[in-house]
Structure 1
């Protein structure tokens, strides 16, 4: 390897004119220590004071400091495992290879790990933790066996690794630790917002058998009215479009999976369209989808709604999507959030059938029960959830931006 290739694209200013990174073997700068498990039938081995980790406990968390299971000194001796010091990087070495976490307090592991104990004068814990993707890739390519993949401590010790001085490692590790903390903070904010939305959905719509919700805006006291959607609006579909009529441009053509993608904030991998001429021809028969209408998946992942919010023409796959022609009978946002609430979703699960491929049909759509307050209260509720979803989207975008930044820095700050 040429000297020029041993320098990262992006480097902290104080290290820009210093030495190139050095290629070493992981086992030269860290001890690789496997875990072990004593007999589970011997109770005296367990319920001790030593944290004892299994691979299922290593998720997306960075630092771990408390295991679900504790082991005794005797159990540790019988397992052939060792107590690992603070700063050890746990590495899952069997099925599900490559999950990592840093020990925040001493602990031990079962046999599903090859743990990396950095030599304090040669390797920084967070520096090597930040190379999780590289560790994972190496573990997968060096695992043995076709049905039970595992990487050994000897294999891990031979892993080639490029490292700068310990001072530069700590600078890089500290940078990624701050970035990871920021990502974790935004993940928690996003999870909190989603939990808040779920709680409000259960409180701001009446529970089964109840005439009013637990939580209401001030000034609204009347009981909600129970109706069936088929009594309020036309529930239908459209004239069938054949696959041969699909095009690469024109009027957007929706399938059930496109609606599912939209509900997750994702983009479909393949957009479909039909010609303007075909849309005009078929819309004269079926009518045109309007703002405020609701399209709901009837096959696959059933009961997922899409509120039409724009005037642009669109068409959809008949049979797979149920069309609720709202005609301003309900506030559009209220209609949408009623549909993702537990009451309507439970009805859809009940009518879809058990033991077969579930479907939500036009007939089921007509019989779908809905509880409704005054139009004014509907607007209040609909706008509230719309604003809440807007905040969730902002948090999601911030998180995705930080994750993208981290990925870019990982590519540029390591050799």
Structure 2
């Protein structure tokens, strides 16, 4: 935008509406006037003939970060679809019950949804992608006031129908949607590239960390050693200093408890927590989809931290820590862990595995120089992924800024 356009925008008149400050040429519309609202339903599971592989059946778990829903976990048969409330292609779907209230997506084809989702079929004066972006932006501003506080959060259909968005000329709607769609496309391409890079890294780890792919100049056989032979168990307690209290997430590694749970959940038990230092490892015995036999992470972003004493903590000794960071990340101990973990989980949700069994696991031990070279190659792959992730976050931040400018009329695109 050039100086003359900025000056022109600054001279436009605005007024305070029920959705905030918007241009005087804009009006406000309730969702019930934007289009028909449909609340989904679930065909009886007592009739297996209602389910099949023909029509998408959208549940909250199928609505994620993508603008369009193109696949679902469950599908309906023709019979199931006939008794369901049909959602036409290009309708906007929003989750209105449960912990993910407010997530929005567009139907890529004719489909149906369960009762946790309300759908809008926009009428002819609204662009469906504009409604998607406007509802996303304005609902997030008033989300807390619309949600009914109860065991399961809910937005009633009547409250949903009263949500307001700007009513503007369809040509301007389309241009706003086109601009934001361009950013969404860039975000989608960047996310796909990151997944490709992660898959390449996984393949590289599987080959390099198992000796299937040998680096040039390294022909020596690898030895096998028990973990207890190349590590030292950490059982130290806090020395009274004020240090962060962390937990381990299978997706993100070490996280501050106050950030993940909105408070430190350790309470008085923090006295029993293990004091971990930079470069040391902890094994979280909780199973997850990502790491079904628990996960091991190295402390990298803190000099010291407290971790639950149910974690098995240790430092590597006489070997390259970086090599084993990636070995643990790749889950290459899973087969051994599966063989020694007793079936099921304990009452506290942790896998049945004691420290002695864990430290008896055997690991490959290349020469220390080969370990170092492999670690450095994987460092390069990791840094490339991190760079792309930073670029992705920048794109998302730019889109957020654009939504604020375009959907409040600060920047106009009607000319």
Return the offset for 1:402. 1.6
Partner of 1:226: 224
Partner of 1:331: 320
Return the offset for 1:51. 4.7
> 1:298/1:3 Cα in 2 relative to 1: closer, same or farther (>3 Å)?
closer
Q: List per-residue Cα deviations over 1:167-204 (Å, max 9, x = no partner).
A: 22111111111111111212222222222222322222
Q: Is the 8 A contact 1:8 1:412 kept in 2?
A: no
Q: What is the alpha-carbon distance in structure 2 between the residues aligned to residue 174 and residue 361 of structure 1?
A: 57
Q: What is the alpha-carbon distance in structure 1 between the residues aligned to residue 228 and residue 157 of structure 2?
A: 65
Return the offset for 1:408. 2.5
Q: What is the alpha-carbon distance in structure 2 between the residues aligned to residue 318 and residue 57 of structure 1?
A: 34
- Among 229, 243, 246, which residue is 2:241 paired with? 246
Return the offset for 1:388. 0.9
Return the offset for 1:387. 0.6
Q: Secondary structure at the match of 1:333?
A: helix
Partner of 2:298: 306
Q: What is the alpha-carbon distance in structure 1 between the residues aligned to residue 306 and residue 51 of structure 2?
A: 59
> 1:188/1:88 Cα in 2 relative to 1: closer, same or farther (>3 Å)?
same
Q: List per-residue Cα deviations over 1:178-233 (Å, max 9, x = no partner).
A: 11111121222222222222232222223xxxxxx322223433321112354456
Q: Give the TM-score taking structure 2 as reference length.
A: 0.70
Partner of 2:393: 400
Partner of 2:95: 92
Please state if 1:340 is matched with 2:292: no
Cα RMSD, aligned residues only: 4.4
Return the offset for 1:39. 4.8
Q: Is the 8 A contact 1:296 1:304 kept in 2?
A: yes
Please state if 1:171 is matched with 2:175: yes
Q: List per-residue Cα deviations over 1:15-42 (Å, max 9, x = no partner).
A: xxx8532112222222212334455555
The gaps in structure 2 that reach 5 residues or longer are 1-12, 260-276, 287-293, 409-415
Q: What is the alpha-carbon distance in structure 2 between the residues aligned to residue 339 and residue 65 of structure 1?
A: 34
Q: Is the 8 A contact 2:285 2:295 kept in 1?
A: no
Q: List per-residue Cα deviations over 1:248-300 (Å, max 9, x = no partner).
A: xxxxx57653xx489937774779xxxxxxxxxxxxxxxxx8xxx84112567
Q: List per-residue Cα deviations over 1:343-397 (Å, max 9, x = no partner).
A: 4466567778752656998867764532122333222211111111111111111
Q: Counterparts of 1:111-126 in structure 2 under 5 Å?
A: 111-121=115-125, 123-126=126-129
Please state if 1:32 is matched with 2:37: yes
Return the offset for 1:69. 2.0
Q: Which deviates further from its counterpart, 178-187 or 62-71?
A: 62-71
Q: What is the alpha-carbon distance in structure 2 between the residues aligned to residue 263 and residue 171 of structure 1?
A: 37
Q: Is the 8 A contact 2:104 2:132 kept in 1?
A: yes
Q: Is the 8 A contact 1:322 1:362 kept in 2?
A: no
Return the offset for 1:403. 1.8
> 1:114/1:323 Cα in 2 relative to 1: closer, same or farther (>3 Å)?
closer
Partner of 1:297: 282
Return the offset for 1:56. 3.7
Q: Is the 8 A contact 2:246 2:305 kept in 1?
A: no
How many residues were matched structurally? Answer: 365
Q: Counterparts of 1:201-220 in structure 2 under 5 Å?
A: 201-206=205-210, 213-220=211-218
Q: What is the alpha-carbon distance in structure 1 between the residues aligned to residue 388 and residue 339 of structure 2?
A: 34
Q: Counterparts of 1:14-413 in structure 2 under 5 Å?
A: 19-41=24-46, 51-65=56-70, 68-72=74-78, 76=81, 78-79=83-84, 81-82=85-86, 84-95=87-98, 96-121=100-125, 123-130=126-133, 131-135=135-139, 141-142=145-146, 146-147=150-151, 150-206=154-210, 213-232=211-230, 235-237=232-234, 240-242=237-239, 245-247=240-242, 253=243, 257=247, 260=248, 264=252, 268=256, 294-297=279-282, 304-306=296-298, 322-324=313-315, 326=317, 329-344=318-333, 355=346, 367-413=360-406
Q: Which has the higher strand share?
A: 2
> 1:408/1:190 Cα in 2 relative to 1: closer, same or farther (>3 Å)?
same
> 1:9/1:410 Cα in 2 relative to 1: closer, same or farther (>3 Å)?
farther
Q: What is the alpha-carbon distance in structure 2 between the residues aligned to residue 201 and residue 376 of structure 1?
A: 17
> 1:401/1:232 Cα in 2 relative to 1: closer, same or farther (>3 Å)?
same
Q: What is the alpha-carbon distance in structure 2 between the residues aligned to residue 169 and residue 91 of structure 1?
A: 20
> 1:139/1:43 Cα in 2 relative to 1: closer, same or farther (>3 Å)?
farther
Q: Secondary structure at the match of 1:175?
A: helix
Q: What is the alpha-carbon distance in structure 1 between the residues aligned to residue 121 and residue 305 of structure 2?
A: 59
